[in-house]
Structure 1
Amino acid sequence: MAKNDDKDATRRSGIAYAAGLSIFFSVISFLGLGWLLDRWLGTSPWLAVIGLVLGSAIGLYEFVRVTIKL
């Protein structure tokens, strides 16, 4: 019985870890993309702000989608 509980706890912690990483990497990725486009197009800071908002929204969506599996 204890082995099944350990496996379940490990699976849940892995899912929670993946959910947190999905937020982090989506925000960083879209913010970085917006910052690079700002430097290239000279529109600073607007595309970085849009990238931050878009990355946050996508990260939140992925977070909810992954944590539903818990």
Structure 2
Amino acid sequence: MRYGFTTGSCAAAAAKAACYMLLTGRRKDTISIQTPSGIVFNAQIEDIVMNENSASCAVIKDGGDDPDITTGVHVCA
């Protein structure tokens, strides 16, 4: 069985990437977070928009082998 990641994990990864890009001014195409269960989630960062005073991006939700209505949603930060 292929595991997916929660919407919250996707939101945390997107927020971490957006903060990184805002603070460093450098683009980040992937980011990793550790989930509460100890699994490392390596997220692909999409929809990147950066300027001098802001940064935003998205992580696309992957439901794994147990998809739900949120699978494929762009979780943005």
TM-score by length of 1: 0.37
TM-score by length of 2: 0.35
Pick the structure with greater CA Rg: 1
